[in-house]
Structure 1
Amino acid sequence: MTAAVRADRPVEVPSGLVHSGAGAAQGQAAAAVDRLPWEELLTSALLGTDRRPPTSCEAPGPAGAPAALLDAAASHTVRQRAGLLPAVPEARPESAAPDPRPPLPEAARHRLAHLLAGRAASPGGGRRGTTPDLTELIPQWLAIANRRGFRAPAALLPPLLDAARARTDLRPAALAFAGPRGLWLAGLNPEWKFALRGSASGSLRPDTTDPEVVRRLWEEGLFAERIALLDAVRAQDPPAALALLASTWPTERAEDRLMFLDSLRSGLQDADEPFLEQALSDRSRNVRATAAELLSALPASAFAGRMAARATSCVNPDRTGGAAAIAVEAPHECDPGMQRDGVVAVPPTGRGERSWWLGQLVESTPLDVWEQQFGGRPAQDIVALPVADDWAGELHAAWRRAAVRQRNSSWGRALLGAPSAPPASSPGAASIAERSQLLAILPELERADWTAAFIAAHGLSDAFQLLGVCAVPWSGALGRAVVDALDIARDGGSYPWSFSGVMGLAERCLEPAEAERLEVLTAVPDEQEGASPGAGGYWSEAFQRLVSTLRLRAAMEAELLG
């Protein structure tokens, strides 16, 4: 459709468009269509002028209706655009706080850009091949950069925040590296609001400097905000945090009381005892149990003394024979006093009542009590004593829980047993999961040495959980033990994918200097009789990837040295 503008009539938006070749009547009808509401024009356009002609005013005949409708729509569009008012500009955001840290070396900046780009382009599942996993290198790069105290490049803050949004495990290190400019930028993009949150619970970073703000947030805030506020106040002023919690404690829901109480684990101290003692009388069983667990971690508490008195009446030196041994007489009832102190009266399915009660008493007793009870013997000697009437398993299991709860490395060491001994011959036949918990309370180097000896004796099949609690990077002895065990598994024709978890840990935890020693393992081994078909090729790929990753980590560290 074409239209010509008459020279003797200026173009005016309110009067509509002028139709070429139209008579006076048709022009008047078109002008009438121009005055129709936009909604009616839209309805006619969607349904068609044949089915829904614009009938609310005098309109042209059927032949001219489509053209008039289109001209009217054009007029409306021009009027709407011409009638827009300019938006009121918002206040410009304040500048980001200065970041005094030095900038990254140029090579390190390029490396970070490459890692972040590789994260966005990382492939899905399937065979990994020999290429290092760039996604898994980002946490290590950030850890080194933060130790060196570098400032994040401004241009890489958006992809860095995107990476932290996608992976919660990256957030602490990524936000530390992003610094004040990262927080400033996060305030301008709702997709990065996680950066403005002060805890894993998802609450906004609380302001604890204004008492009125603290009071209002505690009384009116969302639960996650209140948890974060309690954590923040407790970090600065523990008595004030307890007073805040006590101010609304009776009116809180049971599930909220449990979460608030659990937050006291961080920085637990003797001053928390009066509040925890009151919580022992709570109407919620879970709250009572948590209060009892926290009090048992305070050896000087009255609760620990009561539990020790009960436990030592049940577990004593056996004086009936000539050799030193342990006699056990489990409780015959769970009286109201025991229940008030958090002892659960009804055991789980399959557990006897007396053994269930005994275990709860022993795990809540300070471990130093047993050294006094058995004539000053050290933990190593006590756990080696024979236990009468087949109570050894229950007693040692309770001691293991107590060692983990009280973080007592002497008892943890004694209950772990020798790393070369099979689990069935260790004190209480501890599982790998229980051993890893005990291992976690030992000093870092001792953890590594014990795990290395365990791997040398038993291989890697049961070592994954143990490796997970060892400090990173692995010590030389632990790294060599892992590599030697992988070499043995490779030579034995084992399935390489059975060790993929350990391989992944090795890529992140081995010292980069181990790459040279591993080079010889990258060749495809001869396929032995009975070996898994194609296993040699998989092993070769896995070791090539491991070597490439270690060399890439070495390059990353060198670049961050400047």
Structure 2
Amino acid sequence: MPPTTTGPTTASAHPLASHPLDSLPWEELVTSALLGTDRRPPTAPGGPVPADGPAALLDAAALHTVRRRAGLLPAVPGARPAPAPHDPRPHLPEAARHRLAQLLADRAAPTASGRRGAAPDLTELIPQWLATANRRGFRAPADLVPPLLDAARARTDLRPQALTFAGPLGLWLAALNPDWKFALRGGAGGSPVPDTSDPAAVNRLWEEGLFAERVALLDSVRTRDPAAALALLTTTWSTERAEDRLMFLDSLRNGLAEGDEEFLEQALADRSRNVRATAAELLSALPSSAFAGRMAARATSCVNPDRTGAGASIAVEAPHECDAGMRRDGVVADPPTGRGERSWWLGQLVEATPLGVWQERFGGRPAAEIVALPVADDWAGELHAAWCRAAVRQRHPEWARALLGAASAPPAGTPGPTSIAERSKLLAVLSEAERADWVASFIAAHGLSEAFQLLGVCTVPWSGPLGRAVVDALDIARDGGSYPWSFSGVMGLAERCLDPAEADRLEVLTATPDEQEGASPGAGGYWSEAFQRLVSTLRLRAAMEAELT
């Protein structure tokens, strides 16, 4: 049946039989439509210009459309994908399933005034919900895996927990949708791992698997049998890409032992600078390694007890050159801008030296006494900074504790770092309970102005003393008429990290305080909203926990 048109036409009564623009390519029609028929009239080669350009263009487009539809052949069906692997984990409780759908669908925008209001921010609760669901061993509902992958695509912080929760179905879907390809290259948490007791399956996945699957496999084998994981890695090490070698090498932190030394020594000569640096870092965590011995010999030739004075002190003579042996062991010769060469080399030597060496060198003194000794010639800052990096690298609680000093002391009066970032790294070496107690004491002594990074390394939910110290400091700031938005970061952390059982105790803080002289205008209302949101969020977190039980 021939097509009909609703407007004037330049074609004959049967436009398929003959048309003045019959030979004009589709691309020419599109160009004319975009530029306008006045500027680019549709004209067939050698043919006359149509009297009515727009109508002729529409007629030609209709003709092309019918012709293309009439000649369309049915597509050849592709092979159906293999079914998704079975996920043996239990289904979510129905209430928890509805909660997850609500969290993934929430895209609440801020109010016109920019104030968050008293309602909880649901999107900020997704990481905690996922962590709890993974801890309880649930699997994701199939219909919520696509929105979960979309959320993980937009937020990299969600990816490890989201891919673990999505499990094998998430990886199966990611292989079919390019938008989710991130799941195939970096999130080992959701990768299915074969039975590591089956050598054939392990070797097949190691040689043929996706990168995320290989990382998960290596981690799994390393946990079960460190030596077998190292042997597996050596089979393909020379053919791996530099960035992949770095990731695989990092997996050796789990179960690091003397048996890894030979392999790591070989990695010191790797083509990649980052691989060499990681190998040196791992070797320095093996106090009995030849590498640690070489670095200790260099460092102790530079740092020694000063026996010239009346009291105990430390003498420092920094290296005068960075020789080939030092460079081979990972010492970077060229310092950053603004750093002196000798201090740069000294810091790297001390950082890589086992901390037990210094206690032997200084007559068996404990770490706290060593870091309190005076250091000659203004080398104290450089030496203490290197010891801080060594304590973090070697996960040495005694030295971390000594370098942190008392939480109540002013930073300038402590032997270790004065920066909050360095203190945060040292805190991460301590046990969870000690970490929380130290930060609680710091907040009680110094308030919240510098506590944000310190709170970030504390375990969630915060312990009772730490939570009370944070709330008390917020209450003091409110009573003092401070700007509430200055504490928005800490308040946001409190919403995610305070124990939900604290909600009832905080109810009294939701009332709007009286305006004080000199206080920020409207601050009372902001504080009231902030505490209302905090209480509401804590109660919502308690409900989420109950739904996942």
Q: With the length of structure 2 as denominator, give the TM-score of the two structures.
A: 0.82
Question: Offset at 1:416?
Answer: 0.6
Contact 2:205/2:214 (CA < 8 Å) preserved in 1? Answer: no
Counterpart of 2:238 (choices 237, 247, 271) is: 247
Tell me, in whole angstroms, the C-alpha distance in 2 between the residues paired with 1:317 and 1:400: 19
1:86 correspondence with 2:77: no
Deviations 1:423-449 (A, max 9, x none): 101114531111111001111111001
Q: Residue 37 and residue 259 in structure 1: after superposition, are their counterparts in 2 closer, same or farther (change >3 A)?
A: same
SS at 2:474 equivalent: helix
Counterpart of 2:402 (choices 414, 422, 438) is: 414
Question: Offset at 1:371?
Answer: 1.3
Counterpart of 1:238 (choices 226, 229, 236) is: 229
| 1:199-348 → structure 2 map (5 Å cutoff) | 199=187, 209=201, 229=214, 232-233=217-218, 236=221, 237-244=228-235, 246-248=237-239, 268-281=256-269, 288-348=276-336
Counterpart of 1:470 (choices 458, 462, 478) is: 458
Contact 1:30/1:68 (CA < 8 Å) preserved in 2? Answer: no
Question: Offset at 1:396?
Answer: 1.4
Percent identical residues:
73
Q: Residue 17 and residue 179 in structure 1: after superposition, are their counterparts in 2 closer, same or farther (change >3 A)?
A: closer
Tell me, in whole angstroms, the C-alpha distance in 1 between the residues paired with 2:109 and 2:179: 21
Counterpart of 1:501 (choices 489, 492, 500) is: 489
Question: Offset at 1:394?
Answer: 2.1
Paired residues, number: 526
SS at 2:304 equivalent: strand
Question: Offset at 1:181?
Answer: 3.1
Contact 2:347/2:386 (CA < 8 Å) preserved in 1? Answer: yes
Q: Residue 484 and residue 87 in structure 1: after superposition, are their counterparts in 2 closer, same or farther (change >3 A)?
A: same
Tell me, in whole angstroms, the C-alpha distance in 1 between the residues paired with 2:81 and 2:508: 58
Q: CA RMSD of the aligned region, Å?
A: 4.0
Question: Offset at 1:355?
Answer: 3.1
Tell me, in whole angstroms, the C-alpha distance in 2 between the residues paired with 1:322 and 1:366: 28
Residue 448 of structure 2 is matched in structure 1 by: 460
Residue 190 of structure 1 is matched in structure 2 by: 178
Give the counterpart letter for 2:527 in structure 1: W
| 1:15-94 → structure 2 map (5 Å cutoff) | 31-33=17-19, 36-37=22-23, 39=25, 80-94=68-82
Q: Residue 396 and residue 54 in structure 1: after superposition, are their counterparts in 2 closer, same or farther (change >3 A)?
A: closer
Counterpart of 1:438 (choices 422, 426, 430) is: 426
Q: Residue 129 and residue 279 in structure 1: after superposition, are their counterparts in 2 closer, same or farther (change >3 A)?
A: same
Give the counterpart letter for 1:498 in structure 2: S
Q: Residue 199 and residue 266 in structure 1: after superposition, are their counterparts in 2 closer, same or farther (change >3 A)?
A: farther
1:553 correspondence with 2:541: yes
Gaps of 5+ in 1: 1-12, 20-25, 218-224
Tell me, in whole angstroms, the C-alpha distance in 2 between the residues paired with 1:453 and 1:357: 36
Question: Offset at 1:526?
Answer: 1.2
Question: Offset at 1:276?
Answer: 3.6
Residue 222 of structure 1 is matched in structure 2 by: none
Contact 1:233/1:240 (CA < 8 Å) preserved in 2? Answer: no
1:109 correspondence with 2:109: no
Counterpart of 2:522 (choices 534, 540, 558) is: 534
Give the counterpart letter for 2:462 in structure 1: W
Return 531-540 or 453-462, whichever deviates more: 531-540
Q: Residue 81 and residue 377 in structure 1: after superposition, are their counterparts in 2 closer, same or farther (change >3 A)?
A: same
Q: Residue 83 and residue 104 in structure 1: after superposition, are their counterparts in 2 closer, same or farther (change >3 A)?
A: same
Tell me, in whole angstroms, the C-alpha distance in 1 between the residues paired with 2:3 and 2:352: 90
1:360 correspondence with 2:348: yes
1:167 correspondence with 2:158: no
Tell me, in whole angstroms, the C-alpha distance in 2 between the residues paired with 1:256 and 1:97: 26
Counterpart of 1:150 (choices 130, 138, 148) is: 138
Q: Residue 95 and residue 493 in structure 1: after superposition, are their counterparts in 2 closer, same or farther (change >3 A)?
A: same
SS at 1:327 equivalent: strand
Return 288-297 or 156-165, whichever deviates more: 288-297
Residue 5 of structure 1 is matched in structure 2 by: none
Tell me, in whole angstroms, the C-alpha distance in 2 between the residues paired with 1:459 and 1:262: 38
Q: Residue 114 and residue 294 in structure 1: after superposition, are their counterparts in 2 closer, same or farther (change >3 A)?
A: same
SS at 2:301 equivalent: helix
Q: Residue 273 and residue 227 in structure 1: after superposition, are their counterparts in 2 closer, same or farther (change >3 A)?
A: farther
Question: Offset at 1:143?
Answer: 1.6
SS at 2:181 equivalent: helix
Tell me, in whole angstroms, the C-alpha distance in 2 between the residues paired with 1:308 and 1:29: 91
Give the counterpart letter for 1:495 in structure 2: Y
Deviations 1:121-158 (A, max 9, x none): 54489211111101001111122222222232233222
Contact 2:512/2:524 (CA < 8 Å) preserved in 1? Answer: yes
Give the counterpart letter for 1:316 in structure 2: N
Tell me, in whole angstroms, the C-alpha distance in 2 between the residues paired with 1:537 and 1:471: 31
Give the counterpart letter for 1:367 in structure 2: L
Counterpart of 1:486 (choices 470, 474, 480) is: 474
Counterpart of 1:129 (choices 105, 117, 120) is: 117
Q: Residue 89 and residue 456 in structure 1: after superposition, are their counterparts in 2 closer, same or farther (change >3 A)?
A: same
Give the counterpart letter for 1:240 in structure 2: A
Deviations 1:309-364 (A, max 9, x none): 22223322333344333333333444443343333444444444443333222111
Return 453-462 or 374-383, whichever deviates more: 374-383
Residue 402 of structure 1 is matched in structure 2 by: 390
Return 537-546 or 330-339, whichever deviates more: 330-339
Contact 1:280/1:342 (CA < 8 Å) preserved in 2? Answer: yes
Q: Residue 323 and residue 154 in structure 1: after superposition, are their counterparts in 2 closer, same or farther (change >3 A)?
A: same
Give the counterpart letter for 1:144 in structure 2: T
SS at 1:376 equivalent: coil
Deviations 1:3-58 (A, max 9, x none): xxxxxxxxxx5xx6899xxxxxx87998444994574998599759xx7687989x
Q: Greater Rg, structure 1 or structure 2?
A: 1
Deviations 1:386-440 (A, max 9, x none): 3333332222111111111111111111111000001101114531111111001
Tell me, in whole angstroms, the C-alpha distance in 2 between the residues paired with 1:386 and 1:68: 93
Q: Residue 305 and residue 245 in structure 1: after superposition, are their counterparts in 2 closer, same or farther (change >3 A)?
A: farther
Question: Offset at 1:472?
Answer: 0.8
Contact 1:280/1:292 (CA < 8 Å) preserved in 2? Answer: yes
Contact 2:268/2:276 (CA < 8 Å) preserved in 1? Answer: yes
Q: Residue 84 and residue 424 in structure 1: after superposition, are their counterparts in 2 closer, same or farther (change >3 A)?
A: same
Contact 2:184/2:211 (CA < 8 Å) preserved in 1? Answer: no
